[in-house]
Amino acid sequence: MVRMMVTLDERLIEEAKRLSGAKTKRAVIVTALTDYVTRLRRRRLLEQAGTLPLNLTRAELRRWRSMR
């Protein structure tokens, strides 16, 4: 846990509280950071899509997909 002082747009924080249903400013910030990190991780995964050589036959690919 890190304690810090930051200056934030109060209107933006209040709107985020209202939209998210969060009760505290801290909850809004934690939610926003969590969502941001998740979005960046997804973007990174999408950028890597199709870059992994699998060397699977069609039958192997079908079998692999059916296991999900």
At residue 10, the pLDDT reads 97
Longest Cα–Cα distance of the chain, Å, equals 57
Report d(CA 56, CA 38) in Å as an integer: 30
**Among the listed residues 43, 66, 39, 65, the one whose alpha carbon sits nearest the alpha carbon of residue 54:** 65
CB 22 within 8 A of CB 16: yes
d(CA 39, CA 34): 9
Degrees, nearest 5: CA angle 38-40-42: 70
* Segment 6-64, tens digit of pLDDT: 999 999 999 999 999 999 999 999 999 999 999 999 999 899 887 877 788 899 989 98
